[in-house]
């Protein structure tokens, strides 16, 4: 079974621009979660989508948004980029239902975003 | 809110030896999961092992085992017969059991180096 895939793997943007990152979950998984990883803040939860609905949200400004499609693929958008948005963005998928096997998250390889 | 603490920023071990990574957490929840993930230089986050809080038996996965002390809120990872490929950043993570969505809360990470 194919793992979680993320595109693009690397991205360079300038301040003020916007960016869209994509995540395709493991087949059969309906939940996609997004995390931001930086050297200073570590790994922080952005949001979770399940069946095209945002189910959980972390403490990030409204510039960070996402959506999920009917095939469970998810996109994350960051508008008006700031230097501090430079990070590794990881997505993780799970079945999204209650139970240890259902809730365990499996990660993609990440998208490295550099904001200049 | 849950917090996860890994007090060892760096550790090293000789190949074939055993090493233990420490993790403590703070929560008022009773039903939750604990995970260890590893992140090698490729930055791919890989699930190592999972522990359900309601299980008294410690989880094991081949050379990896945990020591779960629920009352002490401690969750350490033991790696036996260390291999060069175990070199990675190891993250301890907490997830509250919930039918309405889940998120991982990560510790700061422990960089493990396995020396030949």
Q: Is B10 exposed, middle or buried (0-12, 13-18, 19+ CB in 10 A)?
A: exposed
Residues whose CB is less than 8 angstroms from the CB of residue B66 and which lie 6 or more positions away in sequence, other chains included: B34, B36, B49, B51, B58, B59, B60, B75, B76, B77, B78
Q: How far apart are CA A66 and CA B87, in angstroms?
A: 34
Beta bridge partners of A69: none
Percent of chain A with pLDDT over 70: 99
Query: Hey, what are B49's tokens?
Result: 């092992």
Under DSSP, the state recorded for B54 is T
Query: Hey, what are B40's tokens?
Result: 């090698």
In the three-class reduction of DSSP (H, G, I as helix; E, B as strand; rest coil), residue B110 is classed as strand
Residue of A44, A51, A107 to mutate for B, most B C-beta atoms under 10 A: A107
CB B103 within 8 A of CB B29: no
Query: What is the enclosing helix (H) or strand (E) of A102?
Result: helix A100-103
Q: How far apart are CA A68 and CA A2, in angstroms?
A: 19
Query: For residue range B5-47, what is the model confidence (pLDDT) as tens digits?
Result: 999 999 999 999 999 999 999 999 888 999 999 999 999 999 9
Per-residue pLDDT at B99 exceeds 70: no
Least confident of A65-74, A76-85, B63-72, B90-99: B90-99
At A9, give phi and psi (nearest 5°): -85, -30
Contact status of A40 with chain B (Cβ, < 8 Å):
no
CB proximity under 8 Å: B 26-65 to A? 33, 35, 37, 42-47, 50, 52
Of B33, B43, B47, which has the smallest distance from its Cβ to A109's Cβ? B43
**Mean model confidence pLDDT for chain B:** 95
CB B17 within 8 A of CB B116: no
Please report residues of A whose CB lies closer than 8 A to that of B47: 104-107
Under DSSP, the state recorded for B30 is S
Per-residue pLDDT at A84 exceeds 70: yes
Find, among A92, A25, A87, A22, the residue nearest to B103 by Cα: A92
* Residue A83's pLDDT band (cuts 50, 70, 90): very high
**Mean model confidence pLDDT for chain A:** 95
Q: How far apart are CA B82 and CA B94, in angstroms?
A: 25
Per-residue pLDDT at B97 exceeds 90: no
Q: What share of chain B is helix, strand, coil (3-state, %, to 5)?
A: 5, 55, 45
């Amino acid at each position: 079974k194919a793992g979680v895939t993320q595109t693009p793997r690397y991205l360079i943007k300038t301040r003020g621009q916007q960016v869209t990152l994509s995540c395709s979950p493991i087949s059969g998984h309906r939940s996609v979660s997004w995390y931001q990883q930086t050297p200073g803040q570590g790994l922080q939860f952005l949001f979770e989508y399940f069946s095209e609905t945002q189910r959980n949200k972390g403490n990030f400004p409204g510039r960070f948004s996402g959506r999920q499609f009917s095939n469970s693929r998810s996109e994350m958008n960051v508008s008006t980029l700031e230097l501090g948005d430079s990070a590794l963005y990881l997505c993780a998928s799970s079945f999204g239902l209650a139970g240890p096997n259902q809730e365990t998250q499996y990660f993609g390889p990440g998208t490295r975003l550099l904001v200049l | 809110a849950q917090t996860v603490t890994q007090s060892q920023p760096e550790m090293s071990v000789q190949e074939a030896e055993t090493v233990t990574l420490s993790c403590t957490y703070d929560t008022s929840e009773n039903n939750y999961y604990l995970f260890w993930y590893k992140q090698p230089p490729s930055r791919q986050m890989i699930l190592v092992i999972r522990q359900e809080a309601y299980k008294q038996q410690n989880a094991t996965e081949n050379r990896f085992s945990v020591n779960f002390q629920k009352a002490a809120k401690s969750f350490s990872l033991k790696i036996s017969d260390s291999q060069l490929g175990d070199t990675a950043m190891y993250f301890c993570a907490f997830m509250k059991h919930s039918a309405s969505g889940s998120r991982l809360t990560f510790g700061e990470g422990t960089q493990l180096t396995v020396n030949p």
